[in-house]
């Protein structure tokens, strides 16, 4: 299934993308795509619904973040060796974990706002992992049983705040609008190998990132198991798993967003995002 949320910001309704690409309204069955709806039991109930019985949503509504009421937005840094190299940092021997504040989450096509005074706002296409079952100290072998599905994430980053203001990455990662998620969450049963998906990002039509999840240092199962030893993962939590090379910081000379650009990005089978960049 491809599950999504549509409608004005703060008033999103739950939906499902059918085989023809039409949005079907799920609000007669669930209140939101969040929490218990994402558990194995919740997803099984949705899968049992006759899609043709669901109302078709007319027009072209705004698409919101594909998961609502996210309690934890966990990010993994330097998870591609070639991205670590372009960043001038050592390849990690275990996952680098930081937070993106949940208040940064927006829809996949919402505007991205450059913070006031920023001169180093950057982009990162990433595979997002949505937790569907409470995970506490799970093994790598059982980790994928705790995954509801996958989505596209743009881990927008302000590099000065991330790297030059005390080495606390969180500072540069959680500004408002720095977490576009979606357009939809594709359930795990429809993604047979999350470790072999092509991914890309363009700015104003120029392709900067062109990679694959197959070059991740730590795969999805390893990351879920590792994070579950640091904290209890809950249904609806999102882990964004790192980016391949091609970020603005890694260009020679470096390229950062100034405002007015259009970012377009996607991951094989998980859909695309398009964001207009604006200055706050």
Distance CA 112, CA 219 (A): 28
User: What is residue 152's DSSP assignment?
Assistant: E
pLDDT at position 91: 83
Per-residue model confidence (pLDDT) at position 52: 96
For 20-37, the pLDDT digits (tens) are: 999 999 999 999 999 999
26 shares its domain with 164? no
CA distance 197 to 220: 12
Residue 275, pLDDT above cutoff 90:
yes
Q: Which domain holds residue 230?
A: 73-279
pLDDT at 249 over 80: yes
pLDDT score recorded for residue 54: 98
What is the pLDDT, as a whole number, of residue 263? 98
Tell me what pLDDT residue 61 has. 98
The reply to whether 62 falls in a domain is no
Whether 119 and 210 map to the same domain: the answer is yes
Quote the pTM value: 0.96
For residues 228 and 138, the answer to whether their CB atoms sit within 8 Å is: yes
162 and 118 within one domain = yes
Over range 205-233, report the average pLDDT. 97
| % of the chain surpassing 90 pLDDT | 92
Q: Is pLDDT above 90 for 135?
A: yes
**69-91 residue pLDDT tens:** 999 999 999 898 877 777 777 88
The predicted pLDDT at position 90 comes to 81
Sign of CA dihedral 62, 68, 73, 78: negative
Q: Is the pLDDT of residue 243 over 90?
A: yes
Are residues 206 and 96 part of one domain? yes
pLDDT in tens, 88-107: 778 889 999 999 999 999 99
If asked whether residues 153 and 248 sit together in one domain, one would say yes
Separation in Å, CA 4 to CA 28, 32, 86, 180, 199: 15, 9, 34, 13, 20
Q: What is the CATH number of the domain that holds 235?
A: 3.90.850.10
Helix and strand totals (H; E) in the chain:
5, 18
Q: How do strand 238-240 and strand 262-267 relate by DSSP bridges?
A: unpaired
Do 88 and 205 fall into the same domain?
yes
Residue 87: predicted pLDDT: 76
Q: What are 152-209's pLDDT values in tens digits?
A: 999 999 999 998 988 789 999 999 999 999 999 999 999 999 999 999 999 999 999 9
Please give the mean pLDDT across all residues of the chain: 96
* 275 plus 136 within the same structural domain: yes
Whether the bond between 253 and the residue before it is cis, its omega within 30 degrees of 0, is yes
Q: In terms of domains, do 108 and 178 share one?
A: yes
Report angle CA 202, 220, 198 to the nearest 5 degrees.
Answer: 30
Q: Which of 259-262's residues contact partners 24+ apart within 8 Å by CB, and which partners?
A: 259/114, 261/203, 261/204, 262/203, 262/204
The domain total for the chain is 2
Residue 43 has what pLDDT? 98
Residue of 242, 203, 241, 200 whose CA lies nearest to 87: 242
Strand-pair partners of 203:
206, 263
| Helix, strand, coil content of the chain in percent (nearest 5) | 20, 30, 45
């Amino acid at each position: 299934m491809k599950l999504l949320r549509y409608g004005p910001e703060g008033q999103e309704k739950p939906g499902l993308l059918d085989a023809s690409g039409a949005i079907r309204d799920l609000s007669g069955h669930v209140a939101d795509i969040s929490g218990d709806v994402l558990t194995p039991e919740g997803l099984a109930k949705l899968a049992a619904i006759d899609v043709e019985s669901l109302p078709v949503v007319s027009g072209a509504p705004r698409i919101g973040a594909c998961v609502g009421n996210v309690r934890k937005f966990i990010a993994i840094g330097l998870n591609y060796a070639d991205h670590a190299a372009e960043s001038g940092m050592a390849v990690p021997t275990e996952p680098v974990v930081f937070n993106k504040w949940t208040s940064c989450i927006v829809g996949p096509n919402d505007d991205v706002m450059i913070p006031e005074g920023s001169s180093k706002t950057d982009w990162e296409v990433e595979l997002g992992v949505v937790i569907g079952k409470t995970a506490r100290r799970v093994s790598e072998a059982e980790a994928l049983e705790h995954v509801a599905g996958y989505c596209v994430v743009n881990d927008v980053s302000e590099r000065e705040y991330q790297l030059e203001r005390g080495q606390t990455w969180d500072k540069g990662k959680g500004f408002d609008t720095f977490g576009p998620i979606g357009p939809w969450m594709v359930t795990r049963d429809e993604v047979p190998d999350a470790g072999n998906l092509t991914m890309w990002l363009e700015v104003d039509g120029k392709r900067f990132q062109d990679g694959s999840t197959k070059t991740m240092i730590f795969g999805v199962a390893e990351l879920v198991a590792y994070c579950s030893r640091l904290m209890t993962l809950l249904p609806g939590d999102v882990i964004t798993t790192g980016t391949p090379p091609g970020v603005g910081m890694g260009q020679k000379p470096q390229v950062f967003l100034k405002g007015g650009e259009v970012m377009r990005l996607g991951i094989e089978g998980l859909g695309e995002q398009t964001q207009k960049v604006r200055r706050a």
